Amino acid sequence: MKYYLLEPKEKKSVVEYQTFSKEINESKIYAIREEGYRGGSWIIHVPETDEEIDLRLEELDMTRDDIVAYYGEDINSMGEKFFLPDPDEDYHELNDYDFEMIQMYDGCWADWKIVATLDTMCEEDQDDLLVKVEELWAEDYDFALTDDGWSDDGTTTEVQCEILLRECDESGYVEGDETTGY
């Protein structure tokens, strides 16, 4: 296994979305918490051996034949680029990769939104529900929401800028860079 340290090039570009859902009036309603951070760092795990590659593809619910059919080339000829984000892109959904968070720091903002169609819940009711969700969160975070019948549907982390991607060891240490390693 190879490891790469991923860090954003810009500040205030890390966003985490935590999604909750609840059945209300026979319709699924979502409450999404967006929290922004000044920065963070993650270790991306890149398989090297055929066994590691096959295991990762299985986790992705893909086969080597799927890769050839979709990309027109074999996974071995694609190399590690299949398992790594493109540093020049300005949007990266980390859940697309096998990653381990080292840190996210200096939360800068947190906002909630309710997602429901207007035919299932009018804007006024959505606003009232938003206030209730924010009160529950302030009371006991996700525990209060789940106690109120909300289901935690998971978290997605995004880096919304170009990234630095450097080979590292399994703890995040980049040789020659004394500021890394956690």
In a domain, 179, yes or no: no
In a domain, 163, yes or no: yes
- Higher pLDDT pick, 22 / 80: 22
In a domain, 62, yes or no: yes
In a domain, 181, yes or no: no
Residue-wise pLDDT tens digits, 18-45: 999 999 989 999 999 999 999 999 999 9
- Give the pTM: 0.89
In a domain, 108, yes or no: yes
Residue-wise pLDDT tens digits, 141-177: 999 999 999 999 999 999 999 999 999 999 999 998 8
Q: What integer pLDDT is reported at residue 145 of this predicted model? A: 98
What total of structural domains would you count in the chain?
1
In a domain, 27, yes or no: yes
Question: What domain range includes position 93?
Answer: 2-168
In a domain, 61, yes or no: yes
In a domain, 176, yes or no: no
Taking CA atoms, 27 is separated from 21, 42, 150, in Å, by: 10, 37, 13
**Residue 52 host element (H or E):** helix 50-59
CA distance 142 to 146: 6
Which pairs from 74-77 meet CB under 8 Å and 24+ separation?
none
